Amino acid sequence: MINKNSYITLFLTVIIGIISWYNLILFTSKEYLPIPNNEQYKGLVIGIVLSILYWLRQYYTIKL
């Protein structure tokens, strides 16, 4: 059963995935605050999907 804390955890996991994605862009760019291109936005989608899959794996592994 999904409760309120599980939704909060899902939200935070996705936010951390997005921050990690932009962090990688900052590390690999020589510009100051670069604007992502189309290929990097595809990486964002992959990052969000992986964050959700990670949350699902943890949710169904931990017994409530």
27 lies in some domain: yes
Is 54's pLDDT higher than 90? yes
Written as six digits, the tokens of 11 are 């939200």
Q: Among the residues of the chain, which ranges form H helices?
A: 4-28, 38-61
48 lies in some domain: yes
Specify the pTM.
0.82
User: pLDDT for 6-46, tens place per residue?
Assistant: 999 999 999 999 999 999 999 998 989 899 999 999 999 99
55 lies in some domain: yes
Q: Which domain holds residue 37?
A: 10-61
Grouping H, G, I as helix, E, B as strand and the rest as coil, residue 14 is: helix
4 lies in some domain: no
Please tell me the total count of domains within the chain: 1
- Please choose, from the candidates 30, 25, 29, the residue with its C-alpha nearest in 3D space to the C-alpha of residue 42: 25
2 lies in some domain: no
